[in-house]
Each structure stands twice: as C-alpha cells, then as structure tokens.
C-alpha cells in the first residue's frame, strides 16, 4: 500500500459531489490534495487551454448547417489571427472591411432575425452545441412566420460583433451563439446573446444572455424554450436587455420532449 493510501482522509461531504461538477470534497493526504485530484485538475486546465486556441472548422460546420436550407455566410473580425484576437478584444468586436462590404451587399433587407455562430473563446462549444440548438429553435420560428436571415459564421469574434452583423443585415433582432470562456469543468459552454435593433455601440445592458448551454449545463430544450420566449417578448415589446426579464413559464415535459426530438 502506498504512503498516500495510508494517509488518505475522505471528506465527509463527498456525497454532495453527485450534484455538481465543481471540485468539492476531494479528500486530502496530510495537508495536500490526493494525486488523482491534482491530475484531474491538470487535465481540466489543459482542456480549457486547448478550447481557447482551437480553430473553428468552418467547412464542417457549413455542411451540418445545410440541413436547415438557409443561406450561410462567413465573416471575420478585424483580428487577423488568434494571437491578436486574444490580445486585442476591441478588434474582435468589429467586422473586417471585406466582411462588412459582403454583408451590406446581400439582398436580405427586412429579415426579422439573424443568427450568428461565432468561435469566441471556445470553438468547441459552437461545434458541439450550435446545430442541436438551432434544430430546436428554427422550425418553430419558421412555423410562426418569422423571416430568418442568413446563418452567419464568424471567426475571431467577440459578442458585440453580432450587433454589427445584425446592423449590416438590417435585421430586427440578432442572436449570437458563441463559445464562452472555458471553465475548469466546462471547456464547451455555449452562450446565447440576443439584441433588439442591433447596431455598433450597443451596451451589454441592452442584450439578454442565456449561458452554459450544453448537456451537462442548460439542456438544449430548456435553452430553446427560454430563447423562444425572449424572442417573442422582444419583438412584442421592442426591446432587449435589462428591461426584458426571463419570465418564461416552466418547461413542461411534453414541450421538452418535442424540442429534444426536433
């Protein structure tokens, strides 16, 4: 028996670990953490770093989006590469001149809503969760008569880039699906940001956010349910942000199953 096993002390709260992925009740060996806990931490840290630097596979994502039968456009921010993107957040919030000219030249005037799929700080999140979420949301919006603009893939993008994309497309609402900053137990969290009448210069307080969309966090049906509610209310009340609260009714099991099956 190793010296660590001889001195390992279990934590009395260990039963609580089934409720959370947080690092709680790890036990101890003398005054230190057990070796396995240290190794798990290093693995999680490496996965978070990989998520930040992973490039979004635009071609593969475009192929998966073909199922929605909507135009797909691709843009980039003014951050020329990942290194500049990480050092200059301001450049990630602004479209390149070429991308801005491309979007303003499209004939999509008057679309009700535009969706932007952006790498953000975790391309992994977009690759894993954007398509299942859209599969739950788009058919319902189309059934309700919403005019959907092109799906825009954005590279080296920050949240505010969605406002510029929506403005260039003259969309009434823009929904930004973007990889969130990785956590040590969540390298693939998808964030959803919703802005009414998007335009450059919008403040964070003028957007709504739905966070941590992934099977281990907020499920696709729950996220879709909240987003559909906020979109409807945003259009009716002509606003987003601090004036628009998530007062969506509870998600019933039948609705959740329908959203999951889409």
- Burial of 31: CB neighbours in 10 Å, binned 0-12, 13-18, 19+: exposed
Q: What total number of domains does the chain contain? A: 1
SS3 155: strand
Name which of 133, 119, 95 is nearest 210 in CA terms.
133
Tell me what pLDDT residue 20 has: 82
For residue 211, is it within any domain? yes
209 marked among binding-site residues: yes
159 marked among binding-site residues: yes
Name which of 180, 167, 247, 234 is nearest 207 in CA terms.
234
For residue 21, is it within any domain? no
For residue 37, is it within any domain? no
CA distances from 174 to 131, 206, 208 (A): 17, 12, 11
β 190-196/148-155 pair status: unpaired
Tell me what pLDDT residue 261 has: 62
For residue 141, is it within any domain? yes
In this structure, what are the phi and psi dihedrals at residue 206, rounded to the nearest 5 degrees?
-100, 10
Does this model's pTM top 0.85? My answer is yes
For residue 137, is it within any domain? yes
For residue 96, is it within any domain? yes
Task: Find the CATH number of the domain harbouring 220.
Answer: 3.40.50.11240
Q: How many CB atoms lie within 10 A of CB 123?
A: 24
pLDDT string in tens for the chain (262-residue length): 566 666 777 788 888 888 887 888 888 888 888 888 899 999 999 988 988 898 999 999 999 999 999 999 999 999 999 999 999 999 999 999 999 999 999 988 779 999 999 999 999 999 999 999 999 999 999 999 999 999 999 999 999 999 999 999 999 999 999 999 998 888 999 999 999 999 999 999 999 999 999 998 999 999 999 999 999 999 999 999 999 998 888 777 776 766 666 6
For residue 88, is it within any domain? yes
Domain assignment of residue 141, given as a range: 56-237
Tell me what pLDDT residue 39 has: 92
Tell me what pLDDT residue 17 has: 84
Tell me what pLDDT residue 249 has: 81
216 marked among binding-site residues: no
Whether 93 contacts 77, CB under 8 Å: yes
Tell me what pLDDT residue 33 has: 84
For residue 156, is it within any domain? yes
């Amino acid at each position: 028996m190793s010296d660590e096993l001889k001195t390992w002390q279990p934590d009395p709260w260990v039963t609580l670990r089934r409720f959370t992925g947080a690092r709680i009740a790890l036990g101890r060996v003398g005054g230190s953490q057990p070796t396995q806990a240290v190794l798990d931490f290093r693995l999680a840290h490496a996965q978070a770093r990989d998520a930040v630097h992973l490039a979004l596979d635009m071609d593969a994502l475009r192929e998966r989006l073909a199922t929605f039968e909507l135009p797909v456009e691709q843009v980039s921010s003014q951050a020329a590469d990942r290194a500049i993107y990480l050092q200059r957040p301001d450049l990630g919030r602004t479209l390149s001149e070429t991308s801005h000219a491309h979007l303003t030249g499209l004939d999509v005037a008057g679309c009700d809503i535009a969706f932007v799929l952006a790498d953000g700080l975790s391309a992994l999140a977009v690759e894993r969760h954007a398509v299942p979420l859209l599969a739950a949301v788009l058919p319902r919006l189309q059934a309700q008569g919403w005019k959907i603009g092109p799906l825009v893939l954005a590279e080296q993008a920050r949240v505010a880039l969605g406002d510029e994309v929506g403005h260039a497309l003259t969309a009434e609402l823009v929904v930004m699906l973007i990889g969130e900053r990785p956590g040590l137990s969540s390298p693939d969290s998808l964030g959803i940001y919703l802005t009414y009448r998007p335009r450059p210069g919008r403040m964070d307080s003028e957007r709504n956010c739905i966070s941590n969309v992934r099977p281990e966090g907020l499920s696709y049906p729950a996220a879709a349910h909240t987003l559909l509610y906020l979109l409807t209310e945003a259009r009716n009340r002509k606003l987003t942000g601090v004036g628009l609260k998530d007062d969506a009714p509870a998600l019933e099991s039948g609705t959740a199953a329908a959203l999951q099956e889409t």
